[in-house]
Structure 1
């Protein structure tokens, strides 16, 4: 969540009690104003985060 915010991507975290304990998640929403490059930027940042997390 914070990783994406620091990169200018707002993806709200969904936490208990909205979802069951230990099942927190991110809510990704798109609108007609988003462009292909916005989706690609999001995907790259998620991939970068995953790679960085795997390295630790």
Structure 2
């Protein structure tokens, strides 16, 4: 069962990326270092739920 998730910047709070994940195999929240266009640098992005 795939669900839609967003990746929210932990510094500025913007949701910059959206993706899907399998909720049965990946139970923990996703955390990735991604590029934040507002800050113009790489920051930690954490998973948040998106309205579907």
Query: TM-score, with normalisation over the residues of structure 1?
Result: 0.24
Higher strand proportion (structure 1 or 2): 2
Asked which structure has the greater CA Rg, the reply is: 1
Higher helix proportion (structure 1 or 2): 1
Q: Flag the structure with more relative contact order, 1 or 2, with Cα contacts below 8 A and sequence separation at least 6.
A: 2
